[in-house]
């Protein structure tokens, strides 16, 4: 018995590279706006949600597209990066960062 191969038209290959935090936020916003609007968002809509200029939204999307997270030609997320919980970072007197990690990240 042979395992079925994925249909890359409906199940694209996983992304090859990781994203910056700003690129990940951009991809999440694109996916959420697509779900909300029922169509790919415009760069202006993405920029508004990210509180950046339209050119910055375009650059973030281009970087995510190059890394395999967005479809070619349209603002459509092929994959949505997981949300990361905020962690509190405290700078100590010695200049070292002491992070209070969320419980899900403690080992």
pLDDT in tens, 53-102: 999 999 999 999 999 899 998 999 998 887 766 555 555 554 454 455 45
Choice between 24 and 104, residue whose per-residue pLDDT is larger: 24
Q: Determine the pLDDT at residue 81.
A: 85
Percentage of the chain lying above the pLDDT 90 cut: 50
Q: Which of 3-7, 38-42, 62-66, 69-73 has the lowest mean pLDDT?
A: 3-7
Q: Determine the pLDDT at residue 52.
A: 95
Q: Determine the pLDDT at residue 83.
A: 75
**Model pTM score:** 0.67
Q: Determine the pLDDT at residue 11.
A: 55
**Could you report how far apart the first and last alpha carbons of the chain are, in Å?**
40
**H or E element: which one contains 16?**
none
Q: Is 32 helix (H, G, I), strand (E, B) or coil?
A: helix
């Amino acid at each position: 018995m042979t395992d079925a191969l994925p249909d890359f038209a409906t199940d694209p290959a996983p992304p090859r590279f990781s994203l910056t935090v700003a690129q990940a936020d951009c991809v999440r916003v694109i996916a959420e706006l697509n779900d909300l609007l029922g169509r790919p968002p415009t760069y202006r809509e993405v920029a508004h949600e990210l509180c950046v200029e339209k050119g910055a939204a375009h650059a973030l999307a281009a970087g995510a597209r190059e890394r395999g997270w967005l479809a070619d030609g349209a603002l459509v997320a092929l994959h949505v990066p997981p949300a990361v919980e905020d962690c509190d970072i405290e700078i100590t007197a010695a200049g070292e960062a002491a992070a209070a990690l969320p419980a899900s990240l403690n080992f």
